[in-house]
Amino acid sequence: MALLIKANMHRRAIFKLIEVLPSLTYAERSYFIQNFSTLCNGGAGNTRTVKETAIVEQLLPPFPERSSSILHPKCFCSDSQVKCWHCGKVSERIKNFCDECNKLQPLDETLNYFEVLGIGKVFAVDTKSLTQIFRKLQAKIHPDKFSLATETEKQYALEHSSIINKAYHCLLNPVERALYLLDLAGQPLHEGQIDLDPEFLMEIMEVNEELAEATNKESVADIGLKNQKILDGLLMEADDAFSRNDIQTARSVVAKVKYYHNIYLKVKDYERQHGIVD
C-alpha cells in the first residue's frame, strides 16, 4: 500500500509537468528525469499509462546542452532493458545500433575501455588485433559516416568515436594499460603511494646520470637497450601478477615500470633531437 501511495504521489507531481513543460530549462528537465526514474520504469505494478508515457517522451529529446549520462536510455526502462531513442524498440542490452531502425544509440558510459573495444580485461593484449578492432569500429562509427544524419546521431557518433579513441590509445600502451587495470581494480597508483627500495631508486638515479652525461648516439643506444631489457622483464612480471589477480604485487611492479618507462622516453627524446628516429 505504501508503494502504491508513493507511486500515485509521483504521478500527480509529474502530471503538473503538462502545464510547465514548454518553459522547463535543461537543468530542470534533467532534475525531473533523474528524480522520476521510478515512475518512468513503471511505478507500482510496473505499469505506465499512455498519458505518463507521453510526458516522459517529451522529456527524452536531446537538447544542445545535453549530457548523455543524464539522457541515457537506461533512465527510461527497467534495469535489464534499454529503449531505442528513435523507434522505441526495447532491447535486453545497449547496442551500438538499434536492431529495428539501425540508428546509432547513445554511448553506454558504464562500459570500461576493454568493453568499449570488445576485448577481454587482461594485461596481455594482442596489440595487432587491438588495432584491427579499433579500425573496424571507427569505420562504422566515425563522425564522417554521419555527415548526413540527424543532429542526435552526429552527437552520438562524436561521443562513440571519442571514447573508442581514448580506449584504443590507453590499451595500446602497456604502461597506460597497467595503470588503467589498477584503476579498475580500485587500487590506482599515484605518486608517492608506494615506498620503493632505496637500492632500486639509486639504480634509477645512476641510469639517469649516465644518460645525462652521454655524448654520442652509441652510448645512448646502449643505455636504451639495457633499459628496454629491464622494462620488458618488469612488464612480464606485471602480466603474471594481473593474471593471478595479485593486485598488490602488480602495483609494486607497475611503480617500477613507470621509472624505467621514463628512461625509455628520455632515450627516445634524445634520438628524435639528433635525427636518429622520426
Segment 86-97, tens digit of pLDDT: 888 888 777 788
Segment 258-268, tens digit of pLDDT: 999 999 999 99
Is pLDDT above 50 for 61? Answer: no
3-class secondary structure per residue, the chain: CHHHHHHHHHHHHHHCHHHHHHHCCHHHHHHHHHHCHHHHCCCHHHCCCHHHHHHHHHHCCCCCCCCCCCCCHHHHCCCCCEECCCCCCEECCCCCECCCCCCECCCCCCCCHHHHHCCCCCCCCCHHHHHHHHHHHHHHHCHHHHCCCCHHHHHHHHHHHHHHHHHHHHHHCHHHHHHHHHHHCCCCCCCCCCCCCHHHHHHHHHHHHHHHHCCCHHHHHHHHHHHHHHHHHHHHHHHHHHHCCCHHHHHHHHHHHHHHHHHHHHHHHHHHHCCCCC
Q: What is the pLDDT of residue 81?
A: 76
Of the two residues 14 and 43, the one the predictor is more confident about is 14
Q: What is the pLDDT of residue 92?
A: 75
Q: What is the pLDDT of residue 164?
A: 97
pTM for the model stands at 0.68
| Amino acid at the residue 274 | H
Q: What is the pLDDT of residue 146?
A: 92
Segment 70-86, tens digit of pLDDT: 344 444 444 457 888 88
